[in-house]
Chain A
């Protein structure tokens, strides 16, 4: 199960809506081993594409160095699909490389940049196997890192 606070959930949805029709992407970092997503880090989609996302390689290095210094890991890796359902594609599955992460998929296909509900779903992706999990949104405040 993914447990995520309301502010972080809303921030992910807002990022996906803002970048629509391109795919949006980012992570929520948290203390290593805690399974607690705390620090929302939106990333630039270097592909700037409605069908593909990739963290810029130099941003990626900076992100991982920063997480390393803080003893954090990417608890959530999120991205959006902008014309299809919030389910990992074959591309997503093939490239998933964080076995400890919750892979969050948001679909903006219904409302695009506008207000309105989105699909927000979470998965484990390990060795090509996808397991959907429940998402619980909590009202606790995001801890300030």
Chain B
């Protein structure tokens, strides 16, 4: 048994369109390295420097890894890893700019 990794739409270009691929490793970091060996380029979309990108969410068995040790989170055969880009954005102004523009 391996670890199932669910891939979001935007990263399926790296997995030949597959919604889920299998990976191996004892930690999330190792699973991502394993993914990279089969799907080159994907790691850079998940990791910046030594940590997960700010706007990429990763869950191991439904737990957000930010609360379970980040890239060091332990994984085991049969676990499920879900990758979801943040749904986020905004007007791009600072608070001060907003306050001077807002109709209030």
Contact = CB atoms under 8 A, between A and B. Distances in A.
B80 to A, nearest CB: 11
Given A61-B82, A64-B84, A52 B90 contact: yes
Nearest to A108: B103
Interface of A: 21, 23, 25, 27, 43, 47, 49-55, 57-58, 60-61, 64, 73-74, 77, 79, 81-84, 88-92, 95-100, 109-110, 112
B101 to A, nearest CB: 4
Contact of A61 (B55, B84, B94, B102): B84
A83 B102 CA distance: 4
Given A58-B64, A83-B91, A97-B87, A109 B9 contact: no
A51 B93 CA distance: 6
B78 interface: no
Nearest to B57: A57
Contacts of A58: 64
A53 B103 CA distance: 19
Contacts of A99: 9-10
Contacts of A82: 91, 98, 102
A33 to B, nearest CB: 12
Contact of B88 (A55, A90, A110): A55
Nearest to B55: A95
30 contacts: A23-B90, A23-B91, A50-B102, A51-B93, A51-B98, A52-B88, A52-B89, A53-B89, A53-B90, A54-B87, A57-B57, A57-B66, A57-B86, A60-B86, A61-B59, A61-B62, A74-B87, A77-B87, A83-B101, A89-B92, A90-B92, A91-B92, A92-B90, A92-B92, A95-B55, A95-B88, A97-B8, A97-B55, A109-B102, A112-B104
